[in-house]
Chain A
Amino acid sequence: MSDAVLETKGLYKAYGPRTVISDMNISLPAGKIIGLLGPNGCGKTTLIKLAAGLLTPTDGEILVCGRQPDEVTRSFVSYLPERTYLSGSMTPRSAVGFFSDFYDDFDSSRACSMMAHLGVDPDAKLKTLSKGTKEKLQLILVMSRAARLYLLDEPIGGVDPAAREYILRTIISNYAENSTVLISTHLISDIETVLDDFLFMRGGGIVMQSSVDGAREKYGKSIDELFREVYRC
């Protein structure tokens, strides 16, 4: 069996006649923070949803720690979608209780501490919170798990720059040594410093996969600059 945390073999996903992922073959190792980078509509979110088990592949395979996504992989995959998935009637405190009930690897005290740091009112109804605060809360919940694979879809897109820094620090300080963090974002300059590896996606496929240091050395550019060059309109 492969040691890869996330692996795809000839993965293909289409929505009706529109192909979103085409013949993708990747293998992501454990213990890395990996950036999933690319322009809008290149298939980043689809790949993450396939890994989370929210989409069914049209063809090929996607494996999480050697298993097709199921209830077992969900117990060690921590997924942050690009939208609010918590009910508006919940409060941050009840959301912590909910995660605590379902995930054995969830650390309630860490979640409460992060909520206090980021100024999230634990007793406010979610429907009364701003979009940014809801995003912060969801990230807190997701990063309070000791998961083997974190799937973060646009984790810093909706938060202010000051909170971004805290969130990135949170990601770095909270993931375990053998865990992998896959971050999809277009805010490359913000996250470049925390990444070990990156994947550039275009048209449903991978156009470049490298370590951040390796790419900097090879091309003499930052990942942000490289991204602008690769995706120049």
Chain B
Amino acid sequence: MLGKLLKYDMRSLRRILLPLVLGAPAVALLCAMALRLTIALSIAESQNPAFIALTMTTSLFVTVSIIAVIASPVVAVIFIMMHFYRSLYSDEGYLTFTLPLKTHDILNSKIISGVVWVVISSVSFLASGAIIVMLGTTTDTLLNTGVLQVLSELAKEMLFGAPASAYAVIMCVNAVSSQVFLITTLALSITIGSIISKKHKALSGVAIYYLLNSASSFLSGTVSFLFTLAAFNGSENFAALTYTTMSAPLVGIIFNFGLSAAAYIACCYLMKNRLNLE
């Protein structure tokens, strides 16, 4: 049953988010072309009013498209949460909660589909950034060879250099754990908002998320501080600094998954025992 619900959730999110994750690299491509043109025009240093107008237009386009690309993962998260709210706590919830499914299956489906699409939108965002930097920051060659060289060396180091590759894996897991934490916290916030508020459920969910996020940021800040303090133990040696740098993402992973588990259990409990679709 989880598989069936997941199929429908993935399909529903794909309908909304596919244009967004494909649109971001497309906008990035146009942005890169506009950026190349802007650089070429600025090199020419012409005082021709048409040149100046064209430079201003391309610069404006570059600015707007960079903002659009940066906003794309944020918009993806907003869409995911709108889908979560709509399918559980609006009219569609009358169907979802009367399906012969266990509460945790419903929640699992929403969280898995949400995390998958957040990861896809993050990849789309990174690819868009790479397109702008690689294609847009040079006028001599197709790709910016300087940036390409730096990136390929970095990739080589991460893939084949033992400590660097381990660190890269840890960083990737840390990034995914952050996305899991984001989605579970948002799910819990919307669930609490829907229970405590009658009229402004989504707005209450946003307020609850702000509170939960502030609390978790304070907690993670305190843990990081204590961790660093313990690592240095009063001395300022380089080994302690390296140890802290390498271990911080590991602590982040444990922290993210720990809080995600707590948010998941709380959300599941509320959905099972406090559901009130008025």
Contacts and interface: CB of A to CB of B under 8 A. Distances in A.
Given A81-B94, A85-B92, A102 B275 contact: no
Interface string A57-70: 00000000000000
B275 A56 contact: yes
Nearest to B195: A56
B200 to A, nearest CB: 15
Binding site secondary structure of chain B = loop
Contact of B12 (A49, A77, A87): A87
B201 to A, nearest CB: 14
B94 A53 contact: no
A71 B102 contact: yes
Most buried by B among A54, A75, A83, A84: A54
Interface string A81-123: 1011111010000000010011100000000000000000000
Given A15-B278, A49-B277, A84-B91, A54 B100 contact: no
B277 A55 contact: yes
Contacts of A79: 94, 98
A52 interface: yes
B94 A83 contact: yes
Contacts of A233: none
B274 interface: yes
B101 interface: yes
A101 B4 contact: yes
Interface string B23-63: 00000000000000000000000000000000000000000
Interface of B: 1, 4, 8, 12, 15, 87, 91-95, 97-103, 198, 273-278
Given A56-B276, A102-B4, 15 more contacts: A15-B276, A54-B93, A55-B277, A56-B273, A71-B100, A71-B102, A74-B98, A74-B101, A75-B100, A81-B91, A84-B91, A85-B91, A87-B92, A101-B8, A103-B100
Interface of A: 15, 49, 52-56, 71-72, 74-75, 77, 79, 81, 83-87, 89, 98, 101-103
